[in-house]
Amino acid sequence: MAHIFSYPIKRALLVRFAPGDDLLAAITAVIEREQAIPAVFSVIGAVASASVGYYDQEARIYKTLQRDGRFEIIACNGNSSLKDAALLIHAHILLGDAEGACWGGHLMSPTTIFAAEMHLLELDGAAPERVYDETTGLYLWCS
């Protein structure tokens, strides 16, 4: 059965990130400073290197894929919530190369911003907590 959390939108933010910064760290810093928890966000732009994770569902570990090179951020979506009462950002990113070929995964560091814009919707209410889930080995939202 799905866990559904319902919120009104509290505010919307538009953010331009600084070139050279790490994308995940930059997203985290803005959300921490603005205390935008819970929130959902989307980022578009370009990166000068990227690291993504692939969750091996059988081994229950993240495999990391790191690539140098310049890529478009075709899409990057994520959210802010809590794990052990602390902020946790969860984001996925789809990157495109010079031929338009795409790759991506779970956003990780280091991912170096070339230029990036975020739109963020802060939600009004208590953030869901992530709790360890035996079935997946992941920390999932629990009511």
Q: Is 106 one of the binding residues for Zn ion (CB under 5 A)?
A: yes
Reported for 87-92, long-range contacts at CB under 8 A and 24+ positions apart, including other chains, are 87/28, 87/31, 87/32, 87/37, 88/130, 88/139, 89/24, 89/27, 89/28, 89/31, 91/24, 91/27, 91/41, 91/43
Stretch touching Zn ion by CB under 5 A, among 3-11, 33-41, 42-50, 105-113 = 105-113
Quote the least distance from Cβ 92 to Zn ion, whole Å.
Answer: 6
Instruction: Closer to Zn ion by CB, 75 or 115: give it.
Output: 75
Instruction: Closer to Zn ion by CB, 106 or 130: give it.
Output: 106
Beta strand 39-56 pairing with 61-83: antiparallel
Q: How far apart are CA 115 and CA 46, in angstroms?
A: 5
Instruction: Closer to Zn ion by CB, 47 or 130: give it.
Output: 130
Task: Write out the binding residues for Zn ion, residues 113-142 only, by CB under 5 A.
Answer: none
Stretch touching Zn ion by CB under 5 A, among 35-43, 68-76, 104-112, 123-131 = 104-112
Task: Say which DSSP state 135 is in.
Answer: T
Stretch touching Zn ion by CB under 5 A, among 40-48, 70-78, 106-114, 135-143 = 106-114
Binding site for Zn ion (CB under 5 A): 106
